[in-house]
Amino acid sequence: MDFRSKLAAAWQRHDSLLCVGLDPDVARFPAHLKDRPDAVLAFCKGIVDATADLACAFKPQIAYFAAARAEDQLQDLIAHIHDKHPQVPVVLDAKRGDIGATAQQYAREAFERFKADALTVNPYMGFDSVEPYLEFADKGLIVLCRTSNPGGSDLQNLEIAGGRKLYQHVAELVAGKWNTHGQNALVVGATFPQELADVRAIVGDLPLLVPGIGAQGGDVEATVKAGRTAAGTGLMISSSRAILYAGKGEDFADAARKVALATREEVNLYRR
């Protein structure tokens, strides 16, 4: 099943727009896990197994795994998700962006080594830097558009020809001529609901990955109302730290589930 189909099925099956971010920081793990050689995998599997029926996607952030020398554990984690929770797509959050020859290797890393269903990428170097990912026709390409961090305005909000903003131009490209297989999506932060609404108006039903709720303070009601499609879907609203570190003891996965459930239900209040 291709990424878009898998995502659409997860929206319906789990009645959820919640994307659970997997940003494993060993320093914040429960004490009983910290000394295990497979601590990253054990922690993330606990979160995944506790929240899989509440999520429309999982989003492991590759930097956390790489910093902990845990790339093999990331590979095993994604294999676990595909085996035990095959209905939930995996978005590898790596924000890659480089010349075509290097992009080919990044694409192989994401889709052949890690077997992710989708990958986040940076559009700053133009189409030839994202084209290699599109060779994997069934995989999702999630392009940075209007990011949740305050510094995103330094470039993304610049006015270009015709008075449009740069992020609006990116949205138009990604939804149009770059969307060669219909598998593209965009990153638009919850911290900018008006820009989120602008992007939705440009891209129609294109999926949007929306970070910024939870620890980053994005407003859930404003986010959902600005970004939902007419069908009440179209969003992967990402929450990471608020879910991952809800508990500090051996019941960390149960605590994570409670926060994930509450987040999903809050999102669902405003979907329809």
Active-site residue numbers?
A: 95
Taking the C-alpha atoms of residue 50 and residue 260, their distance in angstroms, rounded to an integer, is 9
Taking the C-alpha atoms of residue 200 and residue 269, their distance in angstroms, rounded to an integer, is 20
- Per DSSP, helices labelled H in the chain are 3-13, 31-34, 39-51, 62-67, 71-84, 100-108, 127-134, 153-156, 166-175, 193-203, 220-227, 241-244, 252-268
Phi, psi of 195 (to 5 degrees): -65, -35
Phi, psi of 58 (to 5 degrees): -115, 145
| Nearby residues of 50 by Cβ (< 8 Å), 6 or more positions away | 253, 254, 256, 257, 260
- The number of beta carbons lying within 10 Å of the beta carbon of residue 113 is 12
Helix, strand, coil abundance in the chain, percent, nearest 5: 50, 15, 35
Please name the residue that has the structure tokens 């030839």. 128
Q: Which residues of 226-236 are buried (b: 16+ CB within 10 A; e: fewer)?
A: bbbbeeebbbb
